Amino acid sequence: MSDAIVLAYITTRDADEAQAIGRTLVEERWCACVNILPGMRSIYRWQGRIEQADEAVLIAKTRATLFPALAARVRALHSYRTPCVIELRVDRGDEGYVRWLLAESGDAVPG
């Protein structure tokens, strides 16, 4: 396999926003698959204050080479001014799954 795979860890305002962003990323082939984990509680520091919010997590499975463009697309679609979009490298995976993921991501169609 010539291309590495990564997971894009993305937090969103809620499950509806995760659904909308995730569907766009898959439709436009920025990733092969997304997982949405609703009902997450975040506690964070923002502009000098401790904040907390209910959010959802979106995990997008993609090629490492697509991550920069995927992150840019997420920023364009996201309601947050500074969204969490983090690349998590994957060292290893089931060969058949990795082949499928590589085949289904790429040749992205910009929205």
Domain boundaries, the chain: 5-104
Model pLDDT, residue 1:
43
Q: Percentage of the chain surpassing pLDDT 90?
A: 88
Burial grade of 49 (CB within 10 A; 0-12, 13-18, 19 or more): exposed
CATH number of the structural domain 5-104? 3.30.70.120
Q: Percentage of the chain surpassing pLDDT 70?
A: 95
Q: Flag whether pLDDT at 49 surpasses 80.
A: yes
Over residues 79-105, the pLDDT tens digits come to 999 999 999 999 999 999 999 999 999
Which tokens belong to 46?
Answer: 């923002």
pTM: 0.90
Alpha-carbon distances of 55 from 17, 39, 44, 100, rounded to whole Å: 10, 6, 12, 30
